[in-house]
Amino acid sequence: MEKCDLVVMKFGGSCLQDIESFSQTTKIIKKYLKESKIIIVTSAFKGITDKLIDFYNKSCKDVNSCAEVIEDIKQIHLKFINDNINKETPEYKDSLEFFELNLKDLVQLGRVIRLLRPSLDLQDLIISYGEKLSTYIVNQYLNSIGISSKFLSSDELILTDNNFGNALPLLEETESIIQKRLSPIIKSDTNHIICVTGFYGSTKDKKITTLGRGGTDLTAAIMAYSLSSLFKCKVIYWKDVQGFLDADPRIAEQASLLHQISYLEAKELAFFGSKVLHPLCLDVNEKGNIPSEIRPFNDPESNDYTKITKEIIKGERIIKAITSIQRLSMVTIESGTMISLPGTVAKLFNLLAENNINIKFISQSSSENNITIGIDFEDSMKISYLLRNSDWFGKQWFSIKIDNDISLIAVIGAAMLHTPGIAGKIFTVLGEQNINIRAISQGSSELNITIIIERDHCKKAVNILYNAFIS
């Protein structure tokens, strides 16, 4: 194992769900502590974020319906404290007090929501309690077993924009805050571990924001990024999988682990359906050139894990992975000349952006008489309504077709840059098996080639491509 001064480790909810998982977490921390300073970044206890969202929603409607979910939240935390922290220690009492105090605040917040009017910033404030509580309790647990540890709440460290629910970090400002706050602690001999809350930051005017679901990954990346000019850092994301696979094992049985992958490729994987990491954290790791590892939580010593680094290793394998999104909708807008009018595409994109519809795929024929986009299946009804009622697209000279039975397959590999013949081979192998390609697109970065096919053919096509390019 390469030696680092500082290891930032992310532990998600499944590492913090019961005595067994938590004792595994402790074992991992102790092992790494022998060699490096450690920052641990933790998610809420398993299931708590969903319960907090539920609490928020119920509070907006009828605060009297919240008792049950609050009781659930209470029991999960109390059980964790009672199961793990020795009752004779001051940390036990302290954790209970911290918990009771914060729970009271939370209940109070629920009561005022209806008066203040429901809003995304209140929702963010409420769900941040999950990470605040879990991280404080983990921190106190470590102190109770003699591992000196300091708790820091990430709203004091990470500055973000005002996009509540999916905020973006302001990296430069954040970097300097984190350096100022953390480097004296890391350099001092008294504190060995710093426990940082995952998932949230705050705006310049001190409102709590969250970084999107799964955002604790991003918090860990931001911590390493900010400290990497002062310390030799790496990030370890402890997960309930071994790492990135080269295909979805539910679709391609032979799917296997990728031991190394570049940031560029990993970002493509994270975007096209692999939910292993929050996609933005790869951007941040890449920017700071911070080596990252996705490691299996249940087998921490294993050599089977994914290392993500800057290098694009051009082995004999040009294609690294075949990924797919099975449920996708395809929207095709057609019109003789209208599409080519400047501004039509801008209007389409604005309509989508204003209504929070994410585009997964796009292609426009060069004759400019049609444009095709792929969107989440769940957004299909919404877009249909929006287009047909739009002043522009609802006009008779556009024809709008929406197809809900399609899938997207992405063939990914950074080494296909300047390698001719990949697209040709895709067409050939699929054509030989009578699989019709409905649309195709390739980013000019040449990191992936994306095709759209009928959903019925998805599994077969993934396997054909896997056999042709990987196995």
46-75: which residues touch ligand ASP (CB under 6 A)? 49
Please state, in angstroms and as integers, the Cα–Cα distance from residue 370 to each residue in 353, 381, 401, 403, following that order. 20, 20, 11, 15
Closest CB to ligand ASP among residues 169, 214: 214
> What backbone torsions phi and psi does residue 388 show, to the nearest 5 degrees?
-70, -25
Give the gyration radius of the chain's Cα atoms.
24
* 199 in contact with ligand ASP (CB under 6 A): yes
Are β-strands 448-454 and 437-442 bridged in parallel, bridged antiparallel, or unpaired?
Answer: antiparallel
* 203 in contact with Mg ion (CB under 5 A): no
The C-alpha atoms of residue 277 and residue 255 are separated, in whole angstroms, by: 18
The C-alpha atoms of residue 114 and residue 423 are separated, in whole angstroms, by: 56
Please give the distance of CA 370 from its chain centroid, rounded to a whole number: 33
* 164 in contact with ligand ASP (CB under 6 A): no
Work out the number of other CB atoms within 10 angstroms of the CB of residue 399: 12
* 216 in contact with ligand ASP (CB under 6 A): yes
Q: Which window, 42-50, 65-73, 222-230, 417-425, contacts ligand ASP (CB under 6 A)?
A: 42-50
Q: Which does 413 bind (CB under 5 to 8 A by kind): Mg ion, ligand ASP, none?
A: none
2-41: which residues touch ligand ASP (CB under 6 A)? 12-13
* Region class of 289: left (phi > 0), else alpha (psi between -120 and 50), else beta: left
Closest CB to Mg ion among residues 61, 275: 275
**What does the per-residue mask of binding to Mg ion show for 10-39, with x meaning CB under 5 A?**
--xx--------------------------
Q: How many residues does the chain have?
A: 471
Closest CB to ligand ASP among residues 221, 411: 221
Q: Which window, 83-91, 213-221, 295-303, 341-349, contacts ligand ASP (CB under 6 A)?
A: 213-221
Please give the distance of CA 334 from its chain centroid, rounded to a whole number: 35
Closest CB to ligand ASP among residues 43, 59: 43
Closest CB to ligand ASP among residues 241, 414: 241
Please give the distance of CA 236 from its chain centroid, rounded to a whole number: 15
155 contacts: CB under 8 Å, gap ≥ 6: 128, 197, 200, 201, 202, 206, 208
- Residue pair 25/56 in contact by the 8 Å Cβ criterion: no
Q: Which does 198 bind (CB under 5 to 8 A by kind): ligand ASP, Mg ion, none?
A: ligand ASP
Three-state DSSP class for 90? helix
Q: Which of 6, 15, 38, 44 binds ligand ASP (CB under 6 A)?
A: 44
Query: DSSP readout, 262-283?
Result: EHHHHHHHHHTT--SS-HHHHH
The token duo for 266 is 């990993």
Task: Give the total of residues touching ligand ASP (CB under 6 A).
Answer: 12
Minimum Å gap between C-beta 14 and Mg ion is: 8
* 198 in contact with Mg ion (CB under 5 A): no
* 43 in contact with Mg ion (CB under 5 A): yes
Query: Could you tell me the end-to-end alpha-carbon distance of the chain, in angstroms, rounded to an integer?
Result: 29
The closest alpha carbon to 136, from 184, 179, 97, 83, belongs to 97
Q: Which window, 19-27, 212-220, 249-257, 320-328, contacts ligand ASP (CB under 6 A)?
A: 212-220
* 238 in contact with ligand ASP (CB under 6 A): no
Q: Which window, 32-40, 147-155, 210-218, 452-460, contacts ligand ASP (CB under 6 A)?
A: 210-218
* 169 in contact with ligand ASP (CB under 6 A): no
The token duo for 241 is 């999988």
* 130 in contact with ligand ASP (CB under 6 A): yes
Q: Which does 262 bind (CB under 5 to 8 A by kind): ligand ASP, Mg ion, none?
A: none
Closest CB to ligand ASP among residues 74, 213: 213
**Site residues for ligand ASP per CB under 6 A:** 12-13, 43-44, 49, 130, 198-199, 213-216
